[in-house]
Amino acid sequence: MAYIVYLEEAYPPRQARRRSFGGRAGVKPWAPRKPVPRRRESFRSRFGSLFKPPSHRRSERRASSNGSSSRAPLPGYELVKKLNTGGMSEAVTLVKKQGKLYITKRVRADGNRRQTTMSELKVLQLIKRSSSNNLNKLHDFQWDPRGLFCTFVLEYCHSGSLTGKIERYERARSSVPEEFAWNVLGGIAKALAFLHEGIGDPLHEKAAARWNSTWHLDLKPCNIFLSSHGQRGPYPRVVLGDFGCAVSEKDIDDGLAHPRRQRCGTEEWYPPEGLESVVGSHVRYGSATDVWQMGATIHVMCRLLRGPRRSQLDSVSPCGSHYSETLNSTVRQCVKNYRIRWTAAEVARQVHEVAKKKGYRM
């Protein structure tokens, strides 16, 4: 009995014990503390960012991640809209100044990119002084304070690129008119004639003496633009642009470019003599590279392709059997062996003869 009394004294009933070790008899039952009232935070103040439209949140994240904003890339210009980037560009925008539209192209100029950017700037300054209306003209340029970027202000071509034109014909399931194909071929040829030989008018001028020949080296539909301003016939004016891969003879002489290997470009658009898989280590590039890419561009456009098909390009009808033999033979002259390939000036003269005979206005 004493043992039982001892247990009752040592261990009081459960409701009378403190909720801890060593509880004593007579202590008040344990009860949880009352919560301290706190200021209630509204749902909107806590999750307010969720109420913004998704596009606003995405643009804010992009702006914070790359340091960009909705301001124009250069002072004095009004931002119209941002465009898709491509090639060597970090940012491409459509801007306005005094009611006229321009394209701004922002490119990196640090590290290995600096020489490429400097070469592009030299080509654009050369084009600015020319009388050719088939080359994308430089309006202005500006370096950022740290010299890491350079922004070019260029002519805006209202009708888009040749790639977009090909896609529209493809969606409509209609073939490209032959007159338009000649128009594109003639525009590219005249642009290259100036870059290669300093010829402004292939019909009346000869190659300029001591000319520093410059090669585009990335000629393809997305780098060919169309403009309704200055067109002379039913089809838009053809404008060659994007000189990020351009190399001149002086660049090679000064050791700024490799004499045989392109420093950049699109391998799918390299001519046979530029592919290691074809000629091994004996690759080469130059004005013949541009002429081959010009012929391949007409081939792709006429056949509504995304890239050149070499088996068709080397056939009797690179443009297709429903185009004239004259057009097919001219393209064949552009893609034959580089030793006997036509020059850009010869192609321009051929286009002029065809246009005169068929009554095309270009």
| Domains 73-155 and 162-358 in one fold | no
Give me the half-sphere count of Cα atoms (radius 13 Å) on the Cβ side of residue 222.
Answer: 11
Sign of the C-alpha dihedral, residues 237, 90, 69, 149?
negative
Burial of residue 249 (CB within 10 Å: 0-12, 13-18, 19+) is: middle
**Domain 162-358, CATH homologous superfamily name and number:** Transferase(Phosphotransferase) domain 1 (1.10.510.10)
Distance between CA atoms of residues 9 and 95, nearest Å: 91
What class has domain 73-155? Answer: alpha beta
Statement: the pTM of the whole predicted model exceeds 0.85 = no
- pLDDT tens digit sequence for 11-33: 445 544 445 445 555 555 666 66
- pLDDT tens digit sequence for 146-178: 888 999 999 999 999 999 999 999 999 999 999
Q: Which residues of the chain have pLDDT under 70?
A: 1-71, 85-89
Q: How far is CA 285 from the centre of its chain?
A: 22
Where exactly are the structural domains of the chain? 73-155, 162-358
